[in-house]
Structure 1
């Protein structure tokens, strides 16, 4: 690896149209899992000017009415804060095209007789951890998320009255000897109220940047700080740009600092290995770095539809490991069974815990008391150290 370089990651807020779609899709996942913990859900959402459209496949042991599904979608938009002329939680048109799960997919996934539960699809999944932040996440993405979380908290808390839900951030950091040392460029574009004083907005956003970045990291050059560089940003959210589930997968994971298998997470129940295997890969990579066995760790898993056991398991500590990658490849699968059922059981994934993941990243988050973000726990560190 190069020791000195610039690297950039971006984030988008909960009000970004694609993230609105992700959160609605995961609200539907939570609705079904709350009724039946072994529900099957693959829900796609499109949002545009005053319109919400759902499509996909579902299966549930309990009856769930169209009214309940619509209420979950509208409640999500209301929580985000959209009450605009062009996109309003109460008045947007709603259409639902969810239908029953394919019987052919079901027969491959379902557990029956001597057959273990199979993967919901083929694919490759990656997990990553590094020691750049306390949450073992890439620093560029970590600070991009934190800036937008602060904007959202101030908007919801009415600390300021000129912010609207849609926003994006981008942070470029300089790395020296492989460590982040300062920001060289910071970008924030945020939707704002009509007639907002642009200097007031810029001064506020610069203050958030400065408070979020470590002391001394804020660029001194005004030309390195970009706040709404196109000028006005009054029309935003689904009214300004259509949103779709699964279009922000790099924001959801590692900000480009690690590979991505290509599959989206939101809208999928945990039998879908696009989601659950990406979570367990992050969990295992985090154990490696948390145990002090490497400064960086990438893990890859692969699956075939209907097959329980993974087809491959790969570990790369990027030359930073204190034990061989081949040793970790042998030991880690002995600590957690990497079948879909094994993953769901180990992490407790059959719960309505997913809508909260659909903004500000699926990783680098605090574990919740109800089992949310269970893949962020560092609870295998001692076992891993003993095993190697």
Structure 2
């Protein structure tokens, strides 16, 4: 590992067009899980100027059945209205009331339909067959002790800057801000520890005129004050370079400025480029899809290993085949920071019975994933969040003692 290097991560706000799409897709997941904990959902969203389009596959008791509801094209009466209301509520909550994208007046198309029977037969439990994975694929989890939330510092601070801008926009403290924004943080590392912020980039959509004169100066001063509040003082200095709205005017933003699609911010959603990614997005998928649930389980395991003091950094990979319950592989890499061998950690994970062998149902049961808990995940990262109530259960560090006991056995 190099002793001195620069590393960069970015984040995007809840008003970024791709994040608008993610939040809509997860609102649909939550809607159907609230009706049926065993619902199957795969929802993709497109947003562009004054237009919202959703499509994909669903299976949910009492809501979609072409034989039962032929006069409503398979939908239970009122369900399509509920879907549209959920979608528009997301856009309203984000704050889009602009000519080019407005929660009330944007056109809406719903192309959701029933789940493929061929997919269902591979995933459903039957007879002596346990429920299989919803697809093949590889999933990664990662944790580092760089920050209190066990996230890479570059991503952690990128998220925090935008979360603060969002809070100030919604509260009215910064009325010149509009929903769309991006951030980027570059840190210099010495011996694996962040020691200085060399560059900060923030691009935020703004009210008319805030790209000129005193108003531009006000916006840039405000952003710098947020950065100073969010980042530790020892990381900032006169040598830190700021790029705030470097292109100039940013009045046209969100879906009016750029089309958004579900699943296009997978690095923002995870570890900011500090760890591998299996390629599968999370939002819009129910937890039988291991793209989502197994990635959460891998993060859960990696975080508990670091929280237990068994390593300073940890990467975990899981792999699955569609229709097969058990993972095909488990890989642990502590990057030379472990206090025990990596293969010992792999063996210890296998001894923790409450994980159900890391099968899709075992993961969902232990973490309680069959609930409408996904809306809050769809902006500012799926990891490094506070586990509260049913939300973000994969961020708990309740496996620390079990890991230590398994290693001692």
Which category of TM-score, normalised to the shorter sequence, fits these structures?
A: over 0.9
Mapped partners of 2:148, 2:51: distance in 1: 40
Deviation readout 1:279-321 (Å, 9 max, x if unpaired): 0000000110000000000000000000000001000000000
Mapped partners of 1:219, 1:47: distance in 2: 40
- The CA deviation at 1:221 is 3.5
Match of 2:139 in 1: 125
Give the root-mean-square deviation of aligned CA atoms.
Answer: 0.8
Deviation readout 1:230-264 (Å, 9 max, x if unpaired): 00100000000000000000000000000000000
The question of whether the paired residues in 1 share the 8 Å contact of 2:9 and 2:273 is answered with yes
Match of 1:355 in 2: 375
Mapped partners of 2:351, 2:124: distance in 1: 24
The question of whether the paired residues in 1 share the 8 Å contact of 2:351 and 2:406 is answered with no
Q: How many residues were matched structurally?
A: 386
Secondary structure of the 1:216 match is helix
The question of whether the paired residues in 1 share the 8 Å contact of 2:123 and 2:133 is answered with yes
Counting only pairs closer than 5 Å after superposition, residues 53-92 of structure 1 correspond to structure 2 as: 53-63=53-63, 65-92=79-106
Mapped partners of 1:118, 1:2: distance in 2: 42
Structure 1 segments (4+ residues) deviating >2 Å: none
Task: Please tell me whether residue 311 in structure 1 is matched to residue 328 in structure 2.
Answer: yes
Mapped partners of 1:273, 1:5: distance in 2: 34
Secondary structure of the 1:183 match is strand
Counting only pairs closer than 5 Å after superposition, residues 1-388 of structure 1 correspond to structure 2 as: 1-63=1-63, 65-196=79-210, 197-221=215-239, 224-335=241-352, 336=355, 337-369=357-389, 371-388=390-407
Mapped partners of 1:358, 1:381: distance in 2: 27
- The CA deviation at 1:4 is 1.2
Normalization by structure 2: what TM-score? 0.93
The question of whether the paired residues in 2 share the 8 Å contact of 1:209 and 1:218 is answered with no
Normalization by structure 1: what TM-score? 0.99
- The CA deviation at 1:225 is 0.4
Mapped partners of 2:88, 2:146: distance in 1: 38
Secondary structure of the 2:372 match is coil
Mapped partners of 1:59, 1:135: distance in 2: 36
The question of whether the paired residues in 1 share the 8 Å contact of 2:199 and 2:242 is answered with yes
Mapped partners of 1:161, 1:218: distance in 2: 27
Mapped partners of 1:254, 1:218: distance in 2: 22
Deviation readout 1:162-200 (Å, 9 max, x if unpaired): 000000000000111110111000000000001121110
